[in-house]
Structure 1
Amino acid sequence: MLSYISLEVYTIFGILPAKDMTTYTLRNMGKEYCLSGSTIARLQAAESVSTNTLDALCHILDCQLTDIVIFIPDNI
């Protein structure tokens, strides 16, 4: 049976200070990758985002997916 896999994208906001970035700089750099302000807000609210968004974040932050995403299995 297939089930929804939840990904919590919370570590991105822990990585920003290490990269000397803020959500403001993320929004500005994100324009090149079509990251909107609402997408950043979705990340801050730990809501779902697309794999394209995750790819863009990895490019912007020069990091691996495992640096910004943690897998949390559903309670089935």
Structure 2
Amino acid sequence: MISYEPLFRTMKEKGITSYKLQKMGFNRATYYSMKCGKSVSTNTIDLLCRLLDCHVEDIMQYIAENDEKTRQSEFSSFGELHHLVC
């Protein structure tokens, strides 16, 4: 599974909000799709790397299925909220 959690950490570290990212030219609907874990194109990843001046690993990471099950149990309350939003 691909996780975009590194994107949200990178944005926080750089002081970039979703609003500011939108003002920089990033589509808000795409941002929310990523927030819900949906797939995006490599063009989208490329744009984020340019806008945030970062590397691909600062945007996304691969999580093996076994790791995902462990992670879901650790963040079950987040998962419940995540499903309400997405």
TM superposition score category, shorter chain reference: 0.7 to 0.9
Confirm whether residue 46 of structure 1 aligns to residue 37 of structure 2: yes
Identity of aligned residues (%): 35
Which residue of 1 is the match for residue 19 of structure 2? 24
Confirm whether residue 36 of structure 1 aligns to residue 27 of structure 2: yes
Q: How many Å apart are 1:73 and its aligned residue?
A: 3.8
Structure 1 unaligned blocks of 5 or more? 1-5
Moved more, 66-75 or 46-55: 66-75
The superposition leaves residues 14-37 of structure 1 with CA deviations (integer Å, 9 ceiling, x where unpaired) of 1112111111101111x2xxx322
Does the 8 A contact of 2:5 with 2:60 survive in 1?
Answer: yes
Q: Report the Cα distance in structure 2 between the residues aligned to 1:72 and 1:17, rounded to whole angstroms.
A: 21
**RMSD over aligned Cα, in angstroms?**
1.5
Structure 2 unaligned blocks of 5 or more? 67-86
Paired residues, number = 66
Over 2 Å off, 4+ runs: 72-75
1:69 to 43, 49, 60: 60
Q: How many Å apart are 1:74 and its aligned residue?
A: 5.3
Higher helix share: 2
The superposition leaves residues 46-76 of structure 1 with CA deviations (integer Å, 9 ceiling, x where unpaired) of 111110000000001100001121112457x
